[in-house]
Amino acid sequence: MTKSKRSEIKQRRAQRRQKERQVVFLVVAGAVLLLIAIIVGSSLFQNSQPIAEITPITPLERPNAQGTAMGNPDAPVRIDVFEDFQCPACQYFTQNVELQVMNELVATGQVYYVFRHYPFLDDSSATKESDQAANASLCAADQGRFWDYHDLLYTNWNGENEGSFNDRRLVAFAEELKLDMSPFNDCFKANSHKSQINQDIQDALRMGISGTPSVFVNGKIVSPSQVPSFEDIKAAVDAAVAGE
């Protein structure tokens, strides 16, 4: 093989490698641009979503409400309830069973009741309505209004990942409650309570939760295969008090 032939082969190989690098670069650049477009598009979609009408609530008087909990921290029984604000069964539980638990068990000093976040219904959605609702609720908690915001969310929920909890609407809920909007907005945009939400999620996974609402009485799950009734919870509380 002549020197000129070898030089020609080397040159063709170099050109091929360069073309391959260019193809790889274009593929990677295209993927990055696509990801940016998805993120920007999701943000624009959120910002363009309508606020729509908001159904107001009448704030309830909750016994010794502190953050995401209510009742006496030294009560003999602790109830932990893991929920997703987009969960229809959680909405039913909150508007029916929880009220009876609050009035008959928490207000009487028997139970310390703690809301825990398990936002999972938006795992395959770009809009992250469950995550953002959890985020907003804890920003409201900073101003002592978690439970009011919690009630407003469930009152105004109308379907999974359909815009009930888009970002503009979550901010409008805070305005409806007349929160101090400057710290709320700062908290909401920064997702300031992400670590608390993640801790709840890790606790939920450790405790074997597969759905919501999941109710635990002194660490023991109540009716894992169905939404617990008040009678189910009362029986579990009585058993816990009796040391069973």
Q: What percent of the chain has pLDDT over 70?
A: 80
pLDDT of residue 6: 62
**Cα(228)–Cα(205) distance, integer angstroms:** 19
In order of 74, 168, 175, the CA distances from 54 in angstroms are 37, 12, 11
Q: Which burial class, exposed, middle or buried, applies to 35 when counting CB atoms under 10 A from its CB (0-12, 13-18, 19+)?
A: exposed
95 in Cβ contact with 154 (< 8 Å):
yes
pLDDT tens, 98-127? 999 999 999 999 999 999 999 999 999 999
pLDDT tens, 33-60? 454 444 444 444 445 556 889 999 999 9
pTM as predicted: 0.80
CATH fold for domain 69-241:
Glutaredoxin (3.40.30)
pLDDT at 76 over 90: yes
pLDDT band per the 50, 70, 90 thresholds, residue 2: low
pLDDT at 182 over 80: yes
Average pLDDT of the residues in 192-200: 98
pLDDT of residue 1: 59
Q: How open is the CA angle 199-202-208, to the nearest 5 degrees?
A: 140
